[in-house]
Structure 1
Amino acid sequence: MIESIIRAINNNEEISFVYSGLPRVAQPCAVGISRAGNEILRCFQTEGGHITPGHEWDLCTVAKISNLELTGKQFQVIPHGYKQGDRGMRRIYAQL
């Protein structure tokens, strides 16, 4: 799964997946290891359900993601508010 997320980040490609029981479509921005040692994904959600309405930025534990697919849809604009060097990650595998 990590390889697919890295490929999506490198190609600016949206992904779809299920997280917390909710289907989502998102622009993946960074993936790596959290300070707690878990693989995590920082993404900007463009479609689907939210646990917290109006909350577009998500930090997802990769092990809790299911049904991950690359959509084939590329995004040209970096999501508003994104900054490289994610402070939530002690090691970054890939980032925009």
Structure 2
Amino acid sequence: MNNIICSAISSRKILRFYYNGGYITVEPYCHGIGRTGNELLRAFQIGGYSESGNPVHWKLFSVNKISNISITDEEFPGYRPEYNPKDPAMDKIYCCV
């Protein structure tokens, strides 16, 4: 799954995947390993299912809970004012915008 996520990040393509009960659409920004050793994806969710009821927001996803992932043909600009490429939630970064 690393290759898919990093490919989407480097080409600035939107991802769609199943997560915690529904399909979501995100702009992927950073992928790496968190402090607890879990693979993480920092992304800006732009649509789809949301347990919190807030489908448009910055979110941190556990990669082991992601399934049915696909890269769409849609591009995103690769910049949001709140984005921090040195994501404090990650000890090791595989790829980032």
Structure 1 stretch displaced more, 52-61 or 79-88:
52-61
Aligned position for 1:85: 86
TM-score (norm 1): 0.94
Aligned position for 2:50: 50
Unaligned runs of 5+ in 1: none
Give the secondary structure class of the aligned counterpart of 1:4: helix
> What percent identity do the matched residue pairs reach?
34
Post-superposition Cα deviations, 1:18-53, rounded to whole Å, max 9, x if no partner, equal 110111000000000000001110000011011112
Aligned position for 1:75: 76
How many residues are matched?
A: 96
Distance in 1, Cα, partners of 2:57 & 2:20: 15
Distance in 2, Cα, partners of 1:77 & 1:35: 25
Which portions of structure 1, spanning 4 or more consecutive aligned residues, are displaced by more than 3 angstroms?
A: none
Post-superposition Cα deviations, 1:38-72, rounded to whole Å, max 9, x if no partner, equal 11100000110111123611111111101100001
TM-score (norm 2): 0.93
Give how far 1:79 is off: 2.7
Give how far 1:5 is off: 0.2
Structure 1 stretch displaced more, 77-86 or 62-71:
77-86
Aligned position for 1:40: 40
Aligned position for 1:62: 63
Unaligned runs of 5+ in 2: none
Distance in 2, Cα, partners of 1:4 & 1:59: 17
